[in-house]
Amino acid sequence: MHALADDRNISPAGLQIREPGLVEYEPTWHAMREFSSMRDAQSADEIWYLQHPPVYTLGLNGKPEHILDAGTIPVVNVDRGGQVTYHGPGQLVVYLLLDLQRRNLGVKQFVALIEQVLIDTLAEYAIAGERKAGAPGIYVANSKIAALGLRIRRGCSYHGLALNINMDLAPFTRINPCGHADMRVTQIADLCPDKPSLADVQTRLHRHLLRQLGYNKR
């Protein structure tokens, strides 16, 4: 896993940015768990930007019946909150390995912060993202465009968010996304005529995330 190129985003002091590219889900998940188990009060926070090959992940309290037909796509039972979701190329996944106690962030406050980052990022493309009561994530006209799933261990977070940018949405039809049978899914490419690249979306989201976390007050 290598650091994000310096000519795109400078990592502030006390924060490590990593961009491994397209990587398998399970080894990445194990790396997150290992990092979170070994970190201490002096460990720098990390943010990982990446994509995954096709995979369904089922949260701690996830119900297998929400996976209607996995077909050849692997299913991984994981230790985040939430139900089932899909990851695939063209979706920006951001893992947030942060010491929430050090930042004086409660879980609800942290979820609201992530959602605001997504709303602000989408607004740059004239897309009106919205929260939905009782259903974490961001929605556009009742279609889900971004999912959230977190695990908090010893006051530190891992897992994070997934934002649909320009991907094959068909695998979402083979699950009940986030446990909702009638949940529709959308993506930036279907809502923005310019079809921005994943790199462009990542750069904008990163700027909003740094600001919300207090690294960039502008």
Among 105, 78, 176, which residue's Cα sits nearest to residue 135?
176
How far is it, in rounded angstroms, from Cα 178 to Cα 187? 16
Q: Is 178 known to be catalytic? A: yes
Q: For the chain, first and last CA: distance in Å? A: 29
Active-site residue identified among 122, 165, 178, 201: 178
SS3 assignment, position 143: strand
How far is it, in rounded angstroms, from Cα 21 to Cα 29? 14
- Judge whether 102 and 136 are in contact, CB under 8 Å: no
How far is it, in rounded angstroms, from Cα 19 to Cα 3? 6
| Separation in Å, CA 197 to CA 16, 106, 165 | 23, 33, 8
Instruction: Encode burial over 1-29: b for 16+ CB neighbours within 10 A, e otherwise.
Output: eeebeeeebebeeeebbbbbeebebeebb
Give the catalytic positions in this structure.
178
